[in-house]
């Protein structure tokens, strides 16, 4: 099992503008950062392995940067299952 916990923080508005990103209408994260995660489970069998992974982010954002509007909560979760066939070995 693999588990990773992190905190996501976007680039500053100044940096995004310097990179040519239009920040009009963006909703900034409320607070310092948003928690995000990755989890993976792997089971090995004779000639294949099965992996089930997921990742996600939970954040509160300030709609259009207007703090008087309160915050909106977002949770984004993505599954990524996969099956890998390994090389068949001739003995």
| pLDDT score for 18 | 94
Model pLDDT for residues 23-60, shown as the tens digit of each residue: 887 888 888 889 999 999 888 877 777 888 899 999 98
d(CA 3, CA 31): 24
Report phi then psi at 13, rounded to 5: -60, -40
Residue with the larger pLDDT of the pair 46 and 86? 46
Residue with the larger pLDDT of the pair 85 and 61? 61
The three-point CA angle 78-79-82 to 5° equals 145
Model pLDDT for residues 71-83, shown as the tens digit of each residue: 899 899 998 877 6
Nearest to 34 by CA among 67, 66, 81, 72: 72
CA distances (Å), origin 52, targets 23, 74, 80, 84: 36, 23, 6, 11
């Amino acid at each position: 099992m693999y588990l990773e916990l992190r905190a996501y923080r976007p680039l500053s508005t100044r940096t995004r503008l310097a990179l040519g990103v239009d920040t009009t209408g963006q909703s900034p994260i409320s607070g310092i950062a948003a928690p995000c995660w990755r989890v993976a489970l792997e089971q090995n069998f004779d000639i294949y392995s099965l992996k089930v992974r997921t990742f996600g982010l939970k954040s509160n954002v300030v709609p259009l940067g207007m703090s008087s509007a309160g915050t909106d909560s977002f949770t984004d979760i993505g599954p990524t299952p996969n099956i890998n066939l390994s090389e068949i070995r001739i003995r």
